[in-house]
């Protein structure tokens, strides 16, 4: 990554660590599960390697952190940044708990697995010609793909407001989103201006961090990092 590229604001998307339901593949929206011990270790390992001075996410370059209200995301934020980083960001007014980055509202499908959801929908007379796809069909009793798209577009507009004046590194403007698997993949689609049902497969394991930014310092030309060299760690 060149010096010019590094001055362009970035959006880091951080998925919370493992919970009991993410471990066994159950859809977890509003159910407020804690991190498992293994989930805490995942996040601590990520934070140790990627968060801190001279690392991928430098707290001094962060303009704002948006965190889902669920405890698994709140805990992940604290573990990623540590006590000092959490305190410094919070006291400087750079941390918000944000409903717009809460997990997809699964409604009737909360706590179910994909096969169970598809069987339930078949029983209700749905999807007779093609299997259920959340990106197209949304969730009964929960959010549609359009509703999720609308709230993420509103969040992206807010992020653009933070980053637009800082496209050449005029001041710290990196944004960190700490949230959930489905909503972060949905956010990535909308960041790239793809419709929710665009066929764009993504994988994001618990505790993972992804990177989004802009090409040529242009706020109207969003991009995704598909690979990058990590900075040398400082002692």
In tens, the pLDDT along 92-101 reads 999 999 999 9
Does 72 appear as a known binding residue? yes
Whether residue 103 is annotated as binding a ligand: the answer is yes
Residue 74 to residue 69: CA distance in whole angstroms: 7
The reply, when asked if residue 52 is annotated as ligand binding, is no
Residue 199 CA to residue 195 CA, distance in Å, equals 9
List Cα–Cα distances, 213 to 104, 139, 209, in angstroms. 23, 30, 13
The reply to whether 143 sits in an annotated binding site is: no
Domains and CATH numbers, the chain: 3-224 (3.40.50.1240)
Say what the pLDDT of residue 227 is: 82
Considering all CA atoms of the chain, what is the largest pairwise distance in Å, rounded to the nearest integer? 61
Active-site choice (98, 103, 110, 143): 103
| Residue 122 pLDDT | 96
Instruction: Count the neighbouring beta carbons within 10 Å of the beta carbon of residue 97.
Output: 16
What pairing do the DSSP bridges indicate for beta strands 95-97 and 222-224?
unpaired
pLDDT (tens digit per residue) in 138-186: 999 999 999 999 999 999 999 999 999 999 999 999 999 999 999 999 9
Q: Which pLDDT tens digit goes with each residue over 5-30?
A: 568 999 999 999 999 999 999 999 99
3-class state of residue 139 by DSSP? coil
* Residue 99 assigned ligand-binding role: no
The per-residue pLDDT for 2 is 45
The question of whether 103 is a catalytic residue gets the answer yes
Active site residue 16: yes
What pLDDT, on the 0 to 100 scale, is given for residue 6?
Answer: 62
Q: Which pLDDT score is estimated for 234?
A: 56
Predicted pLDDT of residue 4: 44
């Amino acid at each position: 990554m060149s010096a010019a590229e590094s001055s362009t604001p970035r959006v880091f998307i951080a998925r919370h660590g493992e919970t009991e339901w993410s471990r066994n593949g159950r859809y977890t929206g509003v159910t407020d599960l804690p991190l498992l011990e293994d989930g805490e270790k995942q996040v601590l390992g990520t934070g140790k390697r990627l968060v801190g001075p001279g690392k991928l996410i430098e707290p001094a370059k962060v303009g704002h952190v948006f965190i889902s209200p669920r405890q698994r995301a709140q805990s992940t934020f604290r573990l990623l940044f540590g006590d000092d980083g959490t305190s410094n960001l919070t006291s400087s007014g750079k941390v918000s708990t944000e409903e717009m980055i809460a997990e997809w509202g699964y409604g009737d499908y909360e706590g179910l697995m994909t096969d169970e959801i598809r069987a339930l929908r078949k029983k209700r007379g749905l999807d007779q010609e093609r299997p259920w796809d959340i990106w197209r069909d949304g969730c009964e009793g929960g959010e549609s793909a359009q509703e999720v798209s609308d709230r993420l577009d509103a969040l992206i507009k807010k992020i653009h407001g933070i980053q637009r004046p800082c496209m050449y590194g005029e001041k710290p403007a990196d944004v960190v989103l700490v949230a959930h698997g489905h909503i972060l993949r949905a956010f990535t689609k909308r960041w790239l201006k793809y419709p929710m049902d665009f066929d764009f497969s993504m994988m994001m394991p618990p505790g993972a961090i992804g990177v989004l930014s802009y090409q040529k310092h242009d706020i109207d030309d969003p991009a995704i990092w598909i690979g990058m060299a990590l900075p040398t760690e400082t002692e």
